[in-house]
Amino acid sequence: MDQSFIGTNSLVSVLAGLVFIGTVIKVGISLQTYLIDVRCVLLLPTELGLREWREKYKVLSFAQFSLTVVTSALSFLTYFTVLFSDSGNTLKAQLWLLCCILMFSLLPYTVLVVVPINKRLNSKECEENLSLSAALLKKWGEVNKPRPFMLLLIMVIFYYVIFV
């Protein structure tokens, strides 16, 4: 491996480890949301389901968003570190960039698709209209379907880049 400056291998290892850990945590949260929380909320009577959803939202929304931002930034930094230090392995750098783009793509999806539903679920309107609440909770479950699969794909690519 052609090393451009001292400590590049160590830096890449630390960054890659942080990115992988962040991605695994994000996968875990998304799988829990998709496999457990969505079903739990939808099985409860609407009023209780809405209350349960709001509690989960308070706890997880900031954590998920910030974890996505940090993991995206770290994967982008890792991409540049690999690109400029490991000139013989452009495939590895390209895979890092792909993962960075995929991870970052979760942000606009969240902001444009998920957040409007979340805002409506947090509104006073939902407390007063249980049929609207039920429809929005169902829609919330549907828009959460793609995220765990996208994150699992990202995790597999990260695993390949880091360990293979």
Residue-wise pLDDT for 100-112, tens only, equals 999 999 999 999 9
pLDDT band at 1 (very low <50, low <70, confident <90, very high): very low
pLDDT band at 10 (very low <50, low <70, confident <90, very high): confident
State the average pLDDT over residues 144-156: 94
The model's pLDDT over 24-44, given as tens digits with 9 standing for 90+, comes to: 999 999 999 999 999 999 999
State the average pLDDT over residues 47-58: 94
State the average pLDDT over residues 14-20: 93
Angle formed at CA 129 by CA 108 and CA 30, multiple of 5 degrees: 35
pTM of the model: 0.85
DSSP string, 106-148: HHHHIIIIIHHHHHHHTSHHHHH-HHHHHHHHHHHHHHTSHHH
Percent of the chain whose predicted confidence (pLDDT) is above 90 = 76
The model's pLDDT over 113-130, given as tens digits with 9 standing for 90+, comes to: 999 999 999 999 998 999
- Distance (Å, rounded) from C-alpha 78 to C-alpha 14? 9
pLDDT band at 7 (very low <50, low <70, confident <90, very high): low
SS3 content of the chain, % helix, strand, coil (to 5): 90, 0, 10
State the average pLDDT over residues 89-100: 89
Q: Where are the domains of the chain?
A: 8-163
Q: Which two tokens stand for residue 16?
A: 């890659």
